Amino acid sequence: DSGVTQTPKHLITATGQRVTLRCSPRSGDLSVYWYQQSLDQGLQFLIQYYNGEERAKGNILERFSAQQFPDLHSELNLSSLELGDSALYFCASSVRTSGANTGELFFGEGSRLTVL
Amino acid sequence: AQSVTQPDIHITVSEGASLELRCNYSYGATPYLFWYVQSPGQGLQLLLKYFSGDTLVQGIKGFEAEFKRSQSSFNLRKPSVHWSDAAEYFCAVGGNYGGSQGNLIFGKGTKLSVKP
């Protein structure tokens, strides 16, 4: 158990719809990362938040957005869903100290999104 | 551009045989290197990591990896594979940007099958 909790574990929806994925990081972790895992693209970094602020952006579509709340949980919003958005979405968190960020990430078990 | 290449998509080994999974990286600065394992339906679990120092690092479950800067490689090894090692293995590279980033770049993964 990594300590990172993601809900829901599975989600089936239709094209054009909007969904929200939720992530609770490990206790004390300030950084949250979102990744998308698909068969053809592998693990793609989407976005990172640190203590409520966006810190880095990867291959995140404009239809997708995320935020991190004061209690440090994060939500990934996916809108105008397309068939190609079907994937496993992972949240990860990491320890952020006053010095170097070692970059080790702790992953949740993922939310599997199926768009029909 | 930063990237990670895992040349082998799928490897099958016999139980008790030795294992080596290849990983090559491209990174502009001193890399932090990681190997993660993903069992079916699970999140990613960290096997081992390299930041600096001894280029041979030991991880969990009897795995080790060797960092070779001259070859830009970080191959994962295990002397004797167990059936429970069947999973997908991901190599990843990251770096320390003074704490401003921490996202990892992942290879496409190598799926390991173990024959009885």
pLDDT at position B16 is 97
At B80 the three-state DSSP class reads coil
Q: Which residues of A touch B107 (CB under 8 A)?
A: 42
In whole angstroms, give the CA distance from residue B81 to residue B78.
6
In whole angstroms, give the CA distance from residue B19 to residue B15.
10
**Of residues B32, B100, B109, nearest to A102 (C-beta):** B32
Determine, for residues B96 and A103 on separate chains, whether the beta-carbon distance falls below 8 Å.
Answer: yes
pLDDT at position A98 is 47
Instruction: Kindly report the average pLDDT of chain B as a whole number.
Output: 90
- Identify residue A56 by its one-letter amino acid code: A
pLDDT at position B70 is 92
Q: Is the pLDDT of residue B22 over 80?
A: yes
pLDDT at position A111 is 97
pLDDT at position B98 is 44
| A15 and A115 Cβ atoms separated by less than 8 Å | yes
Q: Which residues of chain A have pLDDT under 50?
A: 98-100
Q: Does B49 touch chain A (CB under 8 A)?
A: yes
User: What are A108's strand-pairing partners?
Assistant: none
CA B110 → CA A66, A75, B10, B103, B115, distances in Å? 30, 30, 5, 20, 16
pLDDT at position B102 is 65
The residue among B1, B7, B43 whose CA lies nearest residue B23 is B7
Q: Is the pLDDT of residue B39 over 60?
A: yes
Mutation site, B27, B57, B93, B103, interface A, largest A CB count within 10 A: B103
Token look-up 């992953």 returns A107
Q: Does B74 touch chain A (CB under 8 A)?
A: no
Cβ-Cβ contacts under 8 Å between A and B: the total is 74
* Residue B5, token pair as written in the block: 């290449």
* Residue A38, token pair as written in the block: 């698909």
Average pLDDT on B60-88 reads 96
pLDDT at position A39 is 84
In whole angstroms, give the CA distance from residue B39 to residue B37.
7
